[in-house]
A and B are shown apart, each in its own frame.
Chain A
Amino acid sequence: QVQLQESGPRLVKPSETLSLTCTVSGDSVSSSVYWNWIRQPPGRGLEWIGYIFYSGSTNYNPSLKSRVTISADTSKNQFSLILTSVTPADTAVYFCARTYGDFPYWYFDLWGRGTLVTVSS
């Protein structure tokens, strides 16, 4: 059974860097699927942040592109999110998710439980 688990600091100060890790079990980050980060501010909708492919190629939401980096550590079977220069507007539940299916019809078939990150001094 494939599972995703987010981990990282729950509280980040404004202007600092948010860093989260998603640990994959039951699948490999080196498999030919895309691994994503998605967030949801409290009481609001879903926003796709970006993905990484097993080859290392990445794609980011244009609205966040200047502040986002997604990377993968195949030895630990993890992929990570770094979001720089955070503000309270970055307060959200952050989900990691797997994309499955054929381009461009792919979909998010597996999600982590999500972790709430609060940006506050």
Chain B
Amino acid sequence: SYVLTQPPSVSVAPGKTATITCGGNNSGRKSVRWYQQKPGQAPVLVIYYDSDRPSGIPERFSGSNSGNTATLTISRVEAGDEADYYCQVWDSTSDHGFVFGTGTTVTVL
């Protein structure tokens, strides 16, 4: 089955930039989505189609995808960005299903 690997944790000071990676075999050929999940809440879509933002998501959130790595970048980090972040793709191999990354906890120092 397809695997998406993320760093378990990322720490960042307020106002700085957080970078979260999502590694998967040829992930650059897949459309990557990113979700933010705060404790006790359902996930919220922050990026789709690799780099598009849903309405209401700040421009500080951006995404890219190339080769075997997709990246979520959070600029000018705020305390409210502290959360778990998950990447996700649709696996078009024989399994045919949605796959989530392992998840990254972003801590704002």
Contact = CB atoms under 8 A, between A and B. Distances in A.
A104 B90 contact: yes
Contacts, number: 59
A104 B35 CA distance: 17
A105 B31 contact: yes
Given A105-B49, A113-B42, A46 B86 contact: yes
Contact of A111 (B42, B92, B103): B42
A59 B48 contact: no
Interface string A84-120: 0000000000010100010111111101111000000
Given A47-B100, A48-B98, A112-B42, A107 B48 contact: yes
Given A45-B100, A46-B100, A105-B31, A62 B43 contact: no
Given A106-B90, A107-B48, A109-B54, A59 B42 contact: no
Q: How many of chain A's residues touch chain B, expressed as a range?
A: 20 to 34
Nearest to B89: A104
B12 interface: no
A74 interface: no
A61 interface: yes
Instruction: Pick from B30, B42, B43, B98 the residue with the most CB of A within 10 Å.
Output: B98
A62 B102 CA distance: 18
A48 B99 contact: yes
Given A106-B90, A109-B54, A46 B42 contact: no
A112 B44 CA distance: 11
Contacts of A108: 33, 35, 43, 45, 88
Contact of A45 (B1, B42, B48, B86): B86
Q: State the 7 A-B residue pairs at the shortest beta-carbon distance, nearest first.
A: A111-B42, A48-B98, A105-B31, A46-B100, A107-B48, A104-B90, A45-B103
Interface of A: 36, 45-48, 50, 59-63, 95, 97, 101, 103-109, 111-114
